[in-house]
């Protein structure tokens, strides 16, 4: 009897392991598995502030599904939080005290808008006022808003991925626990998963220094991303003063719009760069110094 040699598997067929199941392909070196975050719709975020760099979490959900963070205890601890002074040390080691009133005085002249822009905003407001109130409420409820890992009006920032994961698993109270995917995250997350994407990494500690350098040195990507996360944080942490400073029509919003236009090519980019040159560097740096100070004041650092 002729004994047949064992048949070699076809090269195109998946390799089988000892249990006759297909072997999962290994991830390419340097890549991070994002399936957990994509499935649970939560993202790790890294934020650098003057006091240090920390990790936290952020999610976006319809406003109607979320309960805002409770700021009663925070504001009770600091009843003047909304108007607190931001004290920093300048390059020459001279103590500089920044007040909201100073910022308002510096920006009063720049905040004047031409007549056509005012008329356009008024027309939009009139059109909105004609809509039924219930439709406005529905639209507001369906709008996705940011939620961070916060507790009692403070942003929880962790200095290491391990510390963040330990907190998530601990069952400690926080505002993100209201998410239906929170329990699953607590069961599955590992320190290796805390690897924020580039677009989820923010360097708020560099903003003021960059603005001080003058128009020719402004980093559009740095400043635009800083504006995005500052708005998210101001909403999630209930910081109305910061929201006002970044609201439509403010000088810092004009700066943001000009930066966005400048990074585009063509005629839009040309006009954006022209608009940037009209933005006062001192006003912009002073405004951002105040914003970074107000956010830093409500951070709860965790080791």
Per-residue three-class SS string for 251-300: HHHHHHHHHHHHCCCHHHHHHHHHHHCCCCHHHHHHHHHHHHHHHHCCEE
* pTM of the entire predicted model: 0.73
Mean pLDDT calculated for residue range 150-175: 98
Instruction: Give the confidence band of 23 by pLDDT, cuts at 50, 70, 90.
Output: low
What's the chain's average pLDDT?
Answer: 80
Neighbours of 215 (CB within 10 A): 14
Instruction: Give the confidence band of 85 by pLDDT, cuts at 50, 70, 90.
Output: very low
Instruction: Give the confidence band of 303 by pLDDT, cuts at 50, 70, 90.
Output: confident
State the distance between the two ends of the chain, measured CA to CA, in whole angstroms. Answer: 73
Pairing of strands 95-98, 86-89: antiparallel
Mean pLDDT calculated for residue range 179-204: 97
């Amino acid at each position: 009897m002729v004994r047949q040699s064992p048949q070699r598997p076809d090269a195109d067929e998946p390799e089988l392991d000892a249990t006759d199941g297909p072997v999962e392909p290994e991830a390419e070196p340097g890549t991070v598995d994002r399936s957990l975050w994509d499935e649970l719709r939560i993202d790790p975020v890294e934020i650098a502030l003057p006091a240090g760099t920390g990790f936290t979490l952020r999610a976006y959900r319809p406003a109607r599904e979320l309960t805002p963070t409770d700021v009663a205890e925070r504001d009770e601890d600091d009843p003047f939080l909304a108007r607190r002074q931001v004290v920093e040390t300048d390059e020459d080691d001279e103590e500089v005290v920044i007040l909201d009133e100073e910022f308002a005085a510096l920006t009063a002249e720049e905040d004047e808008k031409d007549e056509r822009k005012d008329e356009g905003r008024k027309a939009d407001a009139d059109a909105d006022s004609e809509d039924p109130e219930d439709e406005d409420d529905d639209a507001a409820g369906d709008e996705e808003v940011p939620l961070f890992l916060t507790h009692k009006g403070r942003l929880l920032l962790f200095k290491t991925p391990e510390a963040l994961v330990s907190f998530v698993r601990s069952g400690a109270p926080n505002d993100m626990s209201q998410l239906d995917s929170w329990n699953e995250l607590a069961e599955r997350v590992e320190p290796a998963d805390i690897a924020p994407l580039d677009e989820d990494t923010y360097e708020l500690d560099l903003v003021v220094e960059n603005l001080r350098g003058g128009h020719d040195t402004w980093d559009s990507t740095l400043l635009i991303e800083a504006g995005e996360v500052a708005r998210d944080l101001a909403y999630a942490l209930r910081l109305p003063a910061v929201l006002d400073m970044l609201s439509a029509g403010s000088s810092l919003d004009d700066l943001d719009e000009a930066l966005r236009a400048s990074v585009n090519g063509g005629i839009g980019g040309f006009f954006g760069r022209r608009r940037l040159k009209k933005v006062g560097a001192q006003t912009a740096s002073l405004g951002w110094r105040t914003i970074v100070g107000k956010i830093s004041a409500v951070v709860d650092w965790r080791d």
